[in-house]
Amino acid sequence: MSCWHAALGKNTLRTGDAVDRAAAMDAVLGEGRHAVRATEGAAVEDMAYVKIGDELGNVSGFIDLNLGSDELRARIEKACARMHERTAALEGATQTSSPPVVAPPVLSSTPAGSVTEPWDRIEQWLGAHLPEVTIIGASVGSIERAVEATEVTGPQELVDLFGHIGGFPRDAWVQLFPVHELFDLDRMVDERRLELEVWGELDEDAGAEPLAGSAAGEAVETFVSEFVPFAGRDGNLLFVDTRPGSRYGCVTEFDKVGAEDVGPRWVSISALLAELADSLEHGTVFDGCWAPTVADGRLEWHYQQ
């Protein structure tokens, strides 16, 4: 299991072996309780990623002393079941009858606009349906420091987004996107640095020549410094493409296996947010196949064929 250590700016990780699943669950409960406290008073966020064998879920409650082991165990089981459902939906989206044919993602027709207008709609919807969610924008200073750390100027829409929402607190976390987690500024900087290191090493091992002169939206089959990720999970990212060109500022999905070879998904962050706001308000599908619902006080997404 792992949880975010705010003071260190990285995840704390606990791993181990067990003779069976029951023993593994007991180990997760013990190690999870320990991981969120063994920090000498430094801030650790309560939401943790738990993996038991091939099962994965994100769970809150390890830090709550009033939460019994049976209830925490039930939360883990429920979180793993939800993740299994989401994974099965994704796998189902890539399989059809013989022969298998999967249409690649296409650029959304939603036009660019203002970040503020669709975000206000999203915030109003969250306030009406998930009233316990706290939404706080990042400070101007923290945004400036993050932009400086990425060594990338703009785009303004990314700055505007973080001005409205600096990430969700772990005790009121929201699955704002179907398969990606919205980053805060620290995660944005850290994920970008990590991807540059990993893909840089892969390119070096493969003997790939340094890339130069590509335009926004063009596939380069690697992670370059002009990509700024703002959401993701497990190496699969949504990033803003800040390379020059007519598609400057477009949003592309980066896959840890296929890189960004499917091409841009939205022309801008504002276009993505506008489509998201429409989906939440009217129950229409987002990103071509995901329908929103609210269950047990949480926003959930279900795959629609």
Residue with tokens 């999970």: 233
Inter-residue contact 251 to 269 (CB < 8 Å):
yes
Inter-residue contact 264 to 277 (CB < 8 Å):
no
Inter-residue contact 240 to 269 (CB < 8 Å):
yes
In this prediction, residue 99 carries a pLDDT of: 42
Reported as a single tens digit per residue, the pLDDT across 237-264 is 999 999 999 999 999 998 866 676 678 9
Arithmetic mean of pLDDT, 221-241: 90
Q: Distance of alpha carbon 191 from its chain centroid, rounded?
A: 11
In this prediction, residue 102 carries a pLDDT of: 44
Inter-residue contact 223 to 236 (CB < 8 Å):
no
Adjacent-strand bridge partners of 49:
2, 58
Residue 226 has pLDDT above 70, yes or no: yes
In this prediction, residue 280 carries a pLDDT of: 97
Q: What is the pTM of this model?
A: 0.68
Residue with tokens 């009121």: 172
Largest CA distance in the chain: 57
Residue with tokens 């599908």: 285
Arithmetic mean of pLDDT, 222-236: 89
Alpha carbon distance, N-terminus to C-terminus of the chain: 33
Adjacent-strand bridge partners of 291:
302
